[in-house]
Amino acid sequence: MENKGRPVLVLGLGNPLYGDDGFGPAVIEALSRLELPDEVEVLDGGTAGLGLLSAIAGRRRLLVVDVAEMGQPTGTLVHFRWPEVGLIGAVSLLSLHQAGLAEILALAERLGWAPKEVDIFALQPASLGWQRGLSRSARERVPEAVAAILAVLSRVSVGCCEV
Amino acid sequence: MKDGKIQVHYLTRVEGHGNIHVEIAGGELRSFRWEIPEAPRFFEAMVRGQSYADVAHITSRICGICSIGHTLCALQAVENALGVRPSEQTLLLRKLILHGETVQSHILHAGYLAAPDFLGAPSVVPLVESHREVVLTIIRLHRLANEWCDLIGGRTTHPINAVVNGWTSLPTEEQLSALRTRIEAGLADAWAIVEVFRLFSIPDFRRDTEYLALRHPDEYAFYEGDIASTDGGTTPVSDYRKKVIEFIVPYSTAKRARSDRRPSYAVGALARFNNNYEQLSPQARKAAEALGFRPVCTNPFMNTVAQVVEVVHALEDSLRLIDLLLARGLRREDRTVQVRAGHGVGAVEVPRGVLFHEYTLDERGLVVEANLVIPTGQNHQNIEDDMEALIPQVIERPQEEIRLLLEMLVRAYDPCISCSTHLLEVEFR
């Protein structure tokens, strides 16, 4: 599927009302204050789940910021690539509200619309629960995530790696 | 099934998962329950002390699928507290974006969640090969709805343009005309989905149920109205606590609700259909007829069919709204409000049913009290009561069949199982 948006999408996922789950949106907010290459779009995807399929479909490159259960010490930021690293998704859903990145990528891939590779910047959260604002360890990782994303974007824009 | 336990656990989600427990012994139902740890009361704590101007923005984050509905409901409640009456233009645009969200959510639900059940697939993913055209039609409609919400709201989800007493930015008349053309094309796609649903065999199960939905004298109510019941009578939204009585059960942190008359009731597309069928748009009525669907229908599995009918309605009614907006011409309007102390209730039909927001503001316009009643909370007890009636009717069937039916029942309601918890689980191989 064609995408009318820019070829590179940086997507933040999560809920700012749910503690460290707001990490993705916080990183997107920080990025949106910076000047970015023309081909880059940033999007706070919130918790739209499968609703984000058309936002990612047909992008040449996708970078995602999210929190993840990785069995790491809290506050650890990990950069990995899908599909090199697998995401565990639900087999069948009881509700649309259960769909996340794993389910979107599985569907996009089957449709032939998924980017070949997705860079995922994931934070092992310290606290998840109904409260506004990030924990200190998550807050401190926002600049680190921004820098890591900018580093990938700069490689993309100077053409030293395949877009 | 003579003996055994059915447990559907959704442990892949940290919290907010829905669990179904059923225990059958000697061919008899011993115990069952529907557990759903969700805690909407925390939302109320989150808006306390916040400015009236920020409430809609904060509450839009409660749900990624009903974020427009939460925004509009919060705005309505705040405006009622401040004694503000928004302009006709503001209301028309709100109704238009709400239709966009209804299409977005219903088409995702009908296509991605319900259709695989009826087509015998474990999820939508294998349907890409077996029913590619259907999947592409669903995606086209969903994309239309996304771009529609984006145009009016400024973003696909969590709209930023909708504010107290108006809009910070307006679409142009050219953009609205272009949207109109696309919605007309979308209607053809919606009919294709109606045709697909005609072929589905919906489980035959009925349980006498009270259905609550907003009702408005002039239109099939989504944005405003009084609370109507299929048991008869209407209640003004400002008195919603007389009709909707909240309670909790020990095994689930989610708030539940009963009505003033019955221990449970249902809200959602089927409830709207049952209360307001006569006000559906002409094509939506035709779609209902094509699907052999008439009110009052007490089969909860038909909620998804009602959603398909509402997709047709939302598309067709949006043509009317756009025509009205274009006939009057779009113009910038004064959004000034006088801040004062007050109390207000808002009620909006979001995809899963009627949503209530209630705020008390102090003289600085800060929230001192809040109460939010979400549709899923209202449906929990009804889901459990449906299960209690359904299980004995199917108890002779194999365990897997019972499990699938119970899952399908829950899916028909598409409960809001905590939007917060999309937390990724990662497997380093």
Residues B215-265 pLDDT 10s = 999 999 999 999 999 999 999 999 999 999 988 877 766 778 999 999 999
Within 10 A of B299 (CB to CB), how many other CB atoms are there? 18
Average pLDDT over residues B16-26: 76
Whole-Å CA distances, B150 to A55, B171, B218, B321: 12, 10, 27, 17
Q: Provide DSSP, chain A.
A: ---SS-SEEEEEES-TTBGGGGHHHHHHHHHHTS---TTEEEEEEET-GGGGHHHHTT-SEEEEEEEEE-SPPTT-EEEEEETTSEE---SS-SSGGG--HHHHHHHHHHHT-S-S-EEEEEE--S--SSBSS--HHHHHHHHHHHHHHHHHHHHHHTTSS--
Angle formed at CA B156 by CA A38 and CA A153, multiple of 5 degrees = 25
Per cent of chain B over pLDDT 90 is 72
Contacts of A57 (CB under 8 A, 6+ apart): A1, A3, A108, A111, A113, A114
Of B18, B45, B142, the CB nearest to A54: B142
**What integer best gives the mean pLDDT of chain B?**
90
**Model pLDDT, residue B424:** 57
Strand segments (E) across B26-107: 28-35
State residue A152 phi and psi, 5-degree precision: -65, -45
Average pLDDT over residues B2-14: 51
Q: Considering only CB atoms, which chain A residues are within 8 Å of B122? A: 91-92
Q: Considering only CB atoms, which chain A residues are within 8 Å of B137? A: none
A128 contacts B15? CB cut-off 8 A: yes
The 3-state DSSP class for residue B71 equals helix
From CA A101, how far away is CA A9, in angstroms rounded? 14
Measure in Å the smallest separation between the Cα of A99 and chain B Cα atoms.
Answer: 7
A130 contacts B42? CB cut-off 8 A: yes
From CA B427, how far away is CA B429, in angstroms rounded? 6
From CA B224, how far away is CA B197, in angstroms rounded? 29
Q: Considering only CB atoms, which chain A residues are within 8 Å of B18? A: 94-95
Average pLDDT over residues B367-371: 95
Q: Considering only CB atoms, which chain A residues are within 8 Å of B419? A: 15, 47, 49, 97
Is residue B425 very low, low, confident or very high in pLDDT (cuts 50, 70, 90)?
Answer: low
Residues B22-33 pLDDT 10s = 888 888 888 888
Of A66, A94, A99, the CB nearest to B410: A94
A122 contacts B410? CB cut-off 8 A: no
Partner A contacted by B271 (CB < 8 A): no
Q: Pick the more confident residue, B134 or B15.
A: B134
Say whether pLDDT at B365 is over 90: yes
Measure in Å the smallest separation between the Cα of B146 and chain A Cα atoms.
Answer: 8
Say whether pLDDT at B105 is over 90: yes
**Model pLDDT, residue B12:** 30
The 3-state DSSP class for residue B140 equals helix
CB interface of A with B, residues 88-147, below 8 Å:
88-102, 106-107, 110-111, 120, 122, 125, 128-132
**Model pLDDT, residue B421:** 41
Measure in Å the smallest separation between the Cα of A19 and chain B Cα atoms.
Answer: 9
Measure in Å the smallest separation between the Cα of B130 and chain A Cα atoms.
Answer: 12
Average pLDDT over residues B285-302: 97
Residues B378-399 pLDDT 10s = 998 999 999 999 999 999 999 8
The 3-state DSSP class for residue B295 equals coil
Residues B62-85 pLDDT 10s = 888 889 999 999 999 999 999 999
Q: Among A18-27, B50-59, B184-193, B400-409, which is the least confidently predicted range?
A: B400-409
Of B14, B158, B414, the CB nearest to A96: B414
Asked, as a colleague might, if the bond just before A125 is cis with ω within 30 of 0, I would say no
**Model pLDDT, residue B37:** 59
Residues B145-155 pLDDT 10s = 999 999 999 87
The 3-state DSSP class for residue B222 equals coil
From CA B25, how far away is CA B31, in angstroms rounded? 9
Of B58, B407, B423, the CB nearest to A69: B423
Average pLDDT over residues B169-187: 98
ipTM of the complex: 0.85
CB interface of A with B, residues 27-86, below 8 Å:
44-51, 53-55, 66-70, 80, 85-86
Q: Which residues pair with B425 in a beta bridge?
A: A69
* Model confidence, pTM: 0.92
The one-character DSSP state at B62 is: S
Residues A27-71 pLDDT 10s = 999 999 999 999 999 999 888 888 888 889 889 999 999 988 888
Say whether pLDDT at B13 is over 60: no
Measure in Å the smallest separation between the Cα of A150 and chain B Cα atoms.
Answer: 22
Contacts of B349 (CB under 8 A, 6+ apart): B69, B98, B213, B214, B221, B222, B223, B272, B355
The first and second tokens of residue B27, run together, are 């061919």
Whole-Å CA distances, B189 to A82, B53, B142, B162, B376: 33, 39, 11, 29, 29
Measure in Å the smallest separation between the Cα of A65 and chain B Cα atoms.
Answer: 11
CB interface of B with A, residues 134-163, below 8 Å:
135, 139, 142-143, 146, 156-158
**Model pLDDT, residue B29:** 86
Q: Given the structure tokens 């708030």, which residue do they identify?
A: B255
| B426, closest residue in chain A (CA to CA) | A87
First to last CA, chain A: 17
Angle formed at CA B422 by CA B421 and CA B428, multiple of 5 degrees = 120
**Model pLDDT, residue A131:** 83
Measure in Å the smallest separation between the Cα of B97 and chain A Cα atoms.
Answer: 16
Partner B contacted by A14 (CB < 8 A): yes
Which residue, B170, B168, B153, is CA-closest to B71?
B153
The first and second tokens of residue B313, run together, are 């309605």
Angle formed at CA A136 by CA A133 and CA A138, multiple of 5 degrees = 75
Q: Among B7-11, B90-94, B128-132, B191-195, which is the least confidently predicted range?
A: B7-11
Q: Among A131-135, A136-140, B144-148, B364-368, which is the least confidently predicted range?
A: A131-135
Partner A contacted by B17 (CB < 8 A): yes
- Alpha helix (H) ranges present in B112-214? 115-118, 127-130, 132-153, 173-198
Residues A141-151 pLDDT 10s = 999 999 999 99
Q: Pick the more confident residue, B363 or A158.
A: B363
B108 contacts A96? CB cut-off 8 A: yes
- Plot region of B329 (φ>0 → left; ψ -120 to 50 → alpha; else → beta): left
**Model pLDDT, residue B25:** 87
Residues B404-420 pLDDT 10s = 898 889 889 888 765 43
Which residue, B379, B325, B329, is CA-closest to B352?
B379
The first and second tokens of residue A118, run together, are 């997705």
Q: Residue B19: what residue type?
A: N
Residues A60-115 pLDDT 10s = 999 999 988 888 899 999 998 988 887 776 556 666 666 778 888 888 999 999 99
Average pLDDT over residues B289-311: 97
Is residue B11 very low, low, confident or very high in pLDDT (cuts 50, 70, 90)?
Answer: very low
Average pLDDT over residues B350-364: 97
From CA A120, how far away is CA B79, in angstroms rounded? 42
Residues B189-225 pLDDT 10s = 999 999 999 999 999 999 999 999 999 999 999 999 9
Whole-Å CA distances, A11 to A14, A29, A58, A63, A97: 10, 11, 14, 6, 18
**Model pLDDT, residue B5:** 67
